[in-house]
Amino acid sequence: MIVMKFGGTSVESQEAIARVTKIVGDHSHRRPVVVVSAMAKTTNELLDVGREAAAGRREHALAIVHRLRTHHLNHALQLAGAGAADLERYIRTHFEWLEELVKGLSIVGELSPRSMDAIASVGERVSSLIVTFALRAARIPVQHIDARRVIVTDDRFTQAAPIFDQTYARLKEELSLVARSAVVVMGGFIGATRDGQTTTLGRGGSDYSAAIVGAGLDAEEIQIWTDVDGMLTADPRIVTGAHRVKSISFAEAAEMAYFGAKVLHPATVLPAVEKNIPVVILNSRRSDAGGTRITSETMPSTNPVKSISSKRGITIINIHSTRMLMAHGFLRRIFEIFDRYETSVDMVSTSEVSVSLTLDNTENLDDILRELRTFAEVSIEADQAIICLVGENIRHTPGIAGRAFSVLNQNNIRMISQGASLLNLGFVVADSDVPTAVSALHNEFFSELDPAVFD
Ligand code: ADP
Ligand code: ASP
Ligand code: MG
């Protein structure tokens, strides 16, 4: 059995879903469980619906709902063949439900994380139905499963964490048998608490759903179908000539994802690593492009750097001890504050009297600063970015940092860190320097390519 996850762009239109039907059909002998994202841009629009409704702009919120409904109907119905009338009814029911929610929210004037998840879930609930009907119309035996029946999570709405033992038990109960005789289709990104409240796993969470389903069902392989040929040596929106990485280790892929390679959700690899299930990234527009295979082993390569990631919109916090030397317990006090505000820190560097660290989530920044200032001098620098060189061989190759510095000499490097994992080397630069810095690093480290690992 395999898991096939299709991202938003892979189900963005009638043509895209027709390609999905073909790809799933080609793999039907491997007994796929299909996990789908919402149609591209839908989740963003749904979140706008929630915000507009709660801000009292009811008519605008309803206009977005109607636009979304039309878009879904336009792209879905022809795919459904004889099922078109049933599918239309389902789609309309979901959007009617959303309309009612909008009306309620605009009266209450408040958007709780719980309502946000209820609204956001519509994207995957509908897209998974559309794909189910498209497969059925293509005469592929198929069964739709509501993800909320199997993905059990805690109640941290908008960022819910799966409760693995219960989820795995439900997956086995609900899916194992069905998946033997039919392609199972379910929405990614969404789940539910034990008492049935709808939750979401965080933005980009459909990859995570795929990994959870794969791990729970002991899949042979987890395929992540997207709009690029695989994991590339850099973000293709920044570097036009980025190359496909044919194979990469779990550790490297996790590092890339964490430091900004949007192609994979950072948490995805964990459940797959634990069960040693290979993850393959593939292009739904070019199904024969080869993809990237993520496995537990590292392929030896003459290129020490496998990829360059960048995470933008970072804030640096500089914390100076107000005593001459850093007092005992200073770091503990600092990190306790971040812990309390559930704010994770990406990079840290310390000296005798100061600590600098980076955040990407500034939601609680004001409170954090207020608390830090009770015992330290604090300054912040916004609009920064982390650039990370990732590769297991960085640690065994002398001179990588020197080469990177010589290339980055035009850019003001604000922080440097070699992660404890030793497979990344990170720099913080001004966000506006990212395009030139990443391109320059890419020229430096990928002018020659090991054909065993890169395409
Ligand atoms: P999906 O909707 O299929 O989940 P995403 O938009 O989440 O797709 O992720 C795919 C995108 O990730 C690509 O279109 C690409 O722009 C971006 N990306 C960023 N860094 C990388 C990288 N190193 N390799 C490949 N893609 C990357
Ligand atoms: N639709 C969700 C999002 O846009 C989840 C995903 O696509 O992975 O964040
Ligand atoms: Mg994604």
Alpha helix ranges (H) inside 347-428: 365-372, 400-407
Q: Could you tell me the CATH number of the domain that includes residue 391?
A: 3.30.2130.10
Ligand 2 pocket member 304 (CB < 6 A): no
Ligand 1 pocket member 268 (CB < 6 A): no
- pLDDT tens-digit profile of 242-287? 999 999 999 999 999 999 999 999 899 999 999 999 999 999 999 9
Closest CA to 3 of 209, 204, 162: 209
Total number of domains in the chain: 2
Q: What is the CA radius of gyration of the chain?
A: 23
Question: What is the pLDDT, as a whole number, of residue 297?
Answer: 86
Whether residue 186 lies inside any domain: the answer is: yes
Q: Compute the distance from residue 204 Cα to the ligand 1 centre, in Å.
A: 10
What percent of the chain clears pLDDT 90, i.e. is strictly above it?
Answer: 89
Neighbouring residues of 191: CB distance < 8 A, sequence distance ≥ 6: 147, 148, 151, 152, 153, 160, 162, 167, 198, 199, 200, 201, 209
Question: What is the pLDDT, as a whole number, of residue 330?
Answer: 86
Q: Compute the distance from residue 257 Cα to the ligand 1 centre, in Å.
A: 10
Whether residue 240 lies inside any domain: the answer is: no
The pLDDT of 129-134, averaged and rounded, is: 98
Note the Cα 441 to chain centre separation in Å: 25
* Among candidate residues 227, 251, 267, the one where a domain is terminated: 227
Question: What is the pLDDT, as a whole number, of residue 420?
Answer: 66
Which of 39, 201, 226, 308, when mutated, tests ligand 1's pocket best, judged by the most ligand atoms within 8 Å of its CB?
Answer: 226
Shared domain check, 155 and 67: yes
Which of 45, 158, 206, when mutated, tests ligand 2's pocket best, judged by the most ligand atoms within 8 Å of its CB?
Answer: 206
Smallest-distance ligand from the CA of 6: 1
Please give the Cα distance from 314 to 344 (Å, whole number): 12
Please give the Cα distance from 455 to 450 (Å, whole number): 8
Shared domain check, 173 and 49: yes
The pLDDT of 39-46, averaged and rounded, is: 98
Whether residue 188 lies inside any domain: the answer is: yes
With a cut of 80, say whether residue 327 has pLDDT above it. Answer: no
Please give the Cα distance from 233 to 438 (Å, whole number): 10
Smallest-distance ligand from the CA of 44: 2
Shared domain check, 325 and 430: yes
Shared domain check, 322 and 191: no
Ligand 1 pocket member 236 (CB < 6 A): yes
Please give the Cα distance from 283 to 216 (Å, whole number): 25
* Among candidate residues 202, 227, 252, the one where a domain is terminated: 227
Q: What is the residue range of 326's domain?
A: 307-445
Q: Compute the distance from residue 333 Cα to the ligand 2 centre, in Å.
A: 36
Shared domain check, 312 and 223: no
Let me know: does 203 contact 164? Beta carbons within 8 Å.
no
Categorize the per-residue pLDDT at 322 as very low, low, confident or very high, splitting at 50, 70 and 90.
Answer: confident
Ligand 1 atom closest to the CA of 7, numbered from 1: 3
Shared domain check, 207 and 322: no
Ligand 1 pocket member 64 (CB < 6 A): no
Torsion of CA 297, 300, 304, 306, to 10 degrees: -50
Q: Is the pTM of this model over 0.85?
A: yes
- pLDDT tens-digit profile of 190-240? 999 999 999 999 999 999 999 999 999 999 999 999 999 999 999 999 999
Shared domain check, 215 and 331: no
Ligand 2 atom closest to the CA of 7, numbered from 1: 7
Q: Could you tell me the CATH number of the domain that includes residue 38?
A: 3.40.1160.10
What are the structure tokens assigned to 3, written together? 């898991």
Whether residue 270 lies inside any domain: the answer is: no
Ligand 1 pocket member 227 (CB < 6 A): yes
Q: Compute the distance from residue 7 Cα to the ligand 3 centre, in Å.
A: 6
Of 136-145, 179-188, 352-361, 368-377, minimum mean pLDDT range: 352-361
Shared domain check, 313 and 221: no
Whether residue 53 lies inside any domain: the answer is: yes
Residue-averaged pLDDT of the chain: 95
- pLDDT tens-digit profile of 167-176? 999 999 999 9
Shared domain check, 177 and 30: yes
Smallest-distance ligand from the CA of 203: 2
With a cut of 60, say whether residue 12 has pLDDT above it. Answer: yes
What is the DSSP secondary-structure string of 295-364? ESSPPP-S-S--EEEEEEEEEEEEEEESSSSPPTTHHHHHHHHHHHTT--EEEEEE-SSEEEEEES--TT
Whether residue 51 lies inside any domain: the answer is: yes
Categorize the per-residue pLDDT at 325 as very low, low, confident or very high, splitting at 50, 70 and 90.
Answer: low
Q: Compute the distance from residue 261 Cα to the ligand 1 centre, in Å.
A: 7
Shared domain check, 18 and 123: yes
What are the structure tokens assigned to 132, written together? 């189910």
H or E segment and range at residue 73: helix 58-76
* Among candidate residues 212, 227, 242, the one where a domain is terminated: 227
Whether residue 22 lies inside any domain: the answer is: yes
Shared domain check, 317 and 222: no
Closest CA to 71 of 111, 122, 34: 122
Whether residue 239 lies inside any domain: the answer is: no
Smallest-distance ligand from the CA of 226: 1
Q: Compute the distance from residue 236 Cα to the ligand 3 centre, in Å.
A: 15
CA-nearest residue for atom 8, ligand 2, is: 204
Better-predicted residue by pLDDT, 349 or 223: 223
Shared domain check, 311 and 223: no
